[in-house]
Chains A and B, each alone.
Chain A
Amino acid sequence: MQAPLRYESQVRTALVEGQKDYHQVTEDIVRPVEAAPSRLWWIGFIISVCCLLFGVWSVTEQVIYGVGQWNLHRTIGWGWDITNFVWWVGIGHAGTLISAILLLFRQGWRTGVNRAAEAMTIFAVMCAGQFPIWHMGRVWLCFFIMPYPNTRGPVWPNFNSPLLWDVFAISTYFTVSVLFWYSGLIPDIATVRDRAKVKWRKLMYGVLSFGWTGSTKHWQRHESLSLVLAGLSTPLVLSVHTIVSMDFATSVIPGWHTTIFPPYFVAGAIFSGFAMVQTLLLVSRKVLKLEGYITLEHIEVMNKVIVLTGSIVGIAYLTELFISWYGQNKFEGWAFAQNRVNIFSPYGWSYYLMMGCNVLSPQIFWFRKMRRNLTVTFFMSVIVNIGMWFERFVIIVTSIYRDYLPSSWAMYYAPSIWEVGFYIGTFGLFFTCYFLFSKFFPVIAIAEIKHILKKSGESYKEKMGPLEQMPVEEFAHEYAHAH
Chain B
Amino acid sequence: MAVKKFVVGVFTDEAVLFPAIGKVRSAGYKIHEVYTPMPIHGMDHALGLRDTSLHTAGFIYGITGTTTALTGIGWVFNIDWPVNIGGKSHFDLAAWIPITFELTVLFSAVGMFLTFLFLNQMAPFVRKHHFNLRSTDDQFTMVIELTEKSNAEEIKAFLTNVGAVGINLQEAETGWWIGRYDTDKTPLKHKGELLA
Contact = CB atoms under 8 A, between A and B. Distances in A.
A–B proximity contact (CB within 8 A): yes
Interface of A: 1-4, 21-23, 26, 147, 153-156, 158-160, 162, 164-165, 168-169, 171-172, 175-176, 179-180, 183, 186-187, 190-191, 193-196, 199-200, 202-203, 205-208, 210-225, 227-229, 232, 235-236, 239, 242-243, 246, 446-448, 450-451
Contacts of B176: 211
B41 to A, nearest CB: 6
A239 B106 CA distance: 13
A217 B44 contact: yes
Contacts of A172: 102-103, 105-106
Contact of A225 (B19, B41, B83, B112): B112
Contact of A22 (B33, B80, B138): B138
Interface in B26-43: 33-43
A210 B123 contact: yes
A314 to B, nearest CB: 27
Interface stretch (B113-121, B146-154, B188-196): B113-121
B62 to A, nearest CB: 8
Contacts of B54: 221, 224-225, 228
B15 interface: yes
Interface string B2-17: 0000000000001101
A223 B39 contact: yes
A164 B49 contact: no
B76 A195 contact: no
Contacts of A153: 81
Contacts of B108: 228, 232
14 contacts: A1-B22, A3-B15, A21-B138, A147-B72, A159-B76, A191-B137, A202-B180, A203-B181, A210-B123, A219-B40, A219-B43, A228-B54, A243-B98, A450-B38
B170 to A, nearest CB: 14
A161 to B, nearest CB: 8
B109 A176 contact: yes
Contacts, number: 216
B41 A194 contact: no
Interface in B49-70: 49, 51-52, 54-55, 58, 62
A98 B38 CA distance: 20
A419 B76 CA distance: 37
Chain A binding site: helix, strand, loop or mixed by DSSP? helix
Interface in B64-116: 72-73, 76-77, 80-81, 83, 85-86, 88, 92, 95-96, 98-99, 101-103, 105-106, 108-110, 112-113, 116
Interface of B: 14-15, 17-19, 21-22, 33-44, 46-47, 49, 51-52, 54-55, 58, 62, 72-73, 76-77, 80-81, 83, 85-86, 88, 92, 95-96, 98-99, 101-103, 105-106, 108-110, 112-113, 116-117, 119-128, 130, 133-138, 176, 180-182
B123 A211 contact: yes
A156 B123 contact: no
A222 B39 contact: yes
Contacts of B96: 159-160
